């Protein structure tokens, strides 16, 4: 069933390529907006000095320390602006996710998916807030686990003990985040299909992932491996692109946009595969 959902998700994502393009353009606009705001502030703070141009080739820590010490007030303004933009992008992302899930759930015109996604948007936004808090709790618990185990292992004479503790804590935190992300996805699919509320959808999703369909987690791992593989391919090719000339910089930026497009495609593929698995499970229950 896992491989069937994986292949079906790929086919659905290919058919829903307009959604991939929408996600790509939205992500590109968000990145360009934040980049333009940050660069405008850097040019103003450094008065178009040599340090400004040096950041194009080298993200020098010394430059950022100088910015923090000598331009603290304007730096805080940039930070506040970045927080506002981040909140806006998260809100936009919740709406785009609602549209994406609606598009992969039903073979309907894109306009109908937009209308259905807009209707469920408030619930998606609530789910995003709750799950982000759960992610923060998982990361905090992982850090506390690392600190506690390090304290217990402080008397160990083996150097490998510290690495083992760090690896164990990282694995715990990573699995917890992946679990909450998987439950979040299935809760969103449930909302689109049934108009359930935040708490009811999350409760259903936790039960679905933990008890009703335990293939959800292996499917998420398979899709995550696909995403990591695409990133490895990107990094391998990017290593051979020299960024020491105008052509090289342009090629590097273009290759980065290809990665962004592939990531958006995999996101649609991810939702489509999980939707297929959820619906197959529901059909087999009757």
Residue 273 has pLDDT above 50, yes or no: yes
Nearest partner of 99 among 125, 118, 123, judged by Cα: 118
> What is the token pair recorded at 84?
């506002």
Give me the percent of the chain exceeding a pLDDT of 70: 77
Q: Is the model more confident about 32 or about 205?
A: 205
Cα of 60 vs its chain's centroid, Å = 27
Nearest partner of 30 among 263, 271, 190, judged by Cα: 263
Mean of the per-residue pLDDT values of the chain: 81
> What is the token pair recorded at 4?
């069937």
Which helix (H) or strand (E) element contains residue 54? helix 50-54
Contact 201, 191 (CB under 8 A): yes
Q: In terms of C-beta distances under 8 Å and separation of at least 24 residues, what long-range contacts does 224-233 make, across chains too?
A: 224/178, 226/266, 226/269, 227/263, 227/266, 230/259, 230/262, 230/263, 230/266, 231/259
Binning pLDDT at 50, 70 and 90, where does residue 269 land?
A: very high
Q: What are the pLDDT digits (tens) for 89-119? A: 788 888 899 999 999 988 788 888 888 888 9
What mean pLDDT do residues 199-204 have? 92
Dist CA 249 CA 255 (whole Å): 10
Contact 19, 100 (CB under 8 A): yes
What mean pLDDT do residues 163-177 have? 85
> What is the token pair recorded at 70?
């000598």
Contact 27, 264 (CB under 8 A): yes
* pLDDT score recorded for residue 50: 46
Nearest partner of 136 among 182, 180, 85, judged by Cα: 180
Dist CA 165 CA 50 (whole Å): 44
Nearest partner of 95 among 26, 172, 171, 190, judged by Cα: 26
Q: What are the pLDDT digits (tens) for 15-63? A: 998 999 988 888 888 777 776 766 666 666 555 544 445 555 555 555 5
* pLDDT score recorded for residue 274: 92
Residue 170 has pLDDT above 90, yes or no: no
Contact 154, 169 (CB under 8 A): no
Q: What are the pLDDT digits (tens) for 223-246? A: 999 999 999 998 888 888 776 666
Residue 135 has pLDDT above 80, yes or no: yes
> What is the token pair recorded at 175?
């699995």
* pLDDT score recorded for residue 67: 60
* pLDDT score recorded for residue 286: 53
Contact 195, 120 (CB under 8 A): yes
Contact 124, 95 (CB under 8 A): yes
CA-based end-to-end distance of the chain: 17
């Amino acid at each position: 069933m896992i491989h069937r959902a994986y292949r079906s998700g790929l086919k659905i994502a290919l058919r829903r390529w307009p959604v991939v393009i929408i996600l790509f353009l939205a992500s590109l606009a968000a990145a360009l907006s934040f980049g333009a705001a940050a660069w405008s502030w850097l040019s103003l703070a450094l008065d178009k000095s040599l340090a400004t141009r040096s950041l194009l080739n080298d993200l020098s820590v010394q430059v950022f320390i100088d910015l923090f010490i000598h331009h603290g007030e304007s730096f805080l303004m940039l930070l506040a602006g970045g927080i506002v933009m981040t909140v806006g992008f998260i809100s936009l992302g919740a709406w785009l996710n609602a549209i994406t899930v609606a598009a992969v759930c039903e073979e309907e015109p894109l306009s109908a998916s937009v209308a259905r996604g807009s209707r469920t948007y408030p619930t998606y936004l609530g789910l995003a807030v709750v799950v982000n808090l759960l992610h923060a709790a998982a990361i905090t618990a992982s850090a506390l686990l690392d600190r506690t185990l390090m304290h217990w292992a402080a008397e160990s004479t083996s150097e490998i003990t510290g690495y083992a503790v760090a690896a164990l804590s990282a694995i715990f935190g990573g699995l917890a985040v992946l679990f909450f992300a998987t439950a979040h996805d299935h809760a969103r699919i449930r909302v689109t299909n049934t108009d359930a509320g935040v708490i009811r959808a999350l409760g259903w999703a936790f039960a679905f992932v933990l008890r009703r369909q335990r293939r959800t987690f292996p499917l998420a791992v398979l899709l995550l491996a696909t995403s990591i593989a695409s990133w490895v391919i990107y990094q391998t090719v990017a290593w051979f692109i020299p960024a020491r000339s105008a052509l090289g910089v342009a090629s590097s930026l273009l290759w980065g946009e290809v990665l962004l497009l592939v990531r958006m495609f995999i996101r649609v593929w991810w939702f489509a595969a999980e939707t297929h698995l959820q619906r197959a499970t529901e059909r087999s229950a009757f």
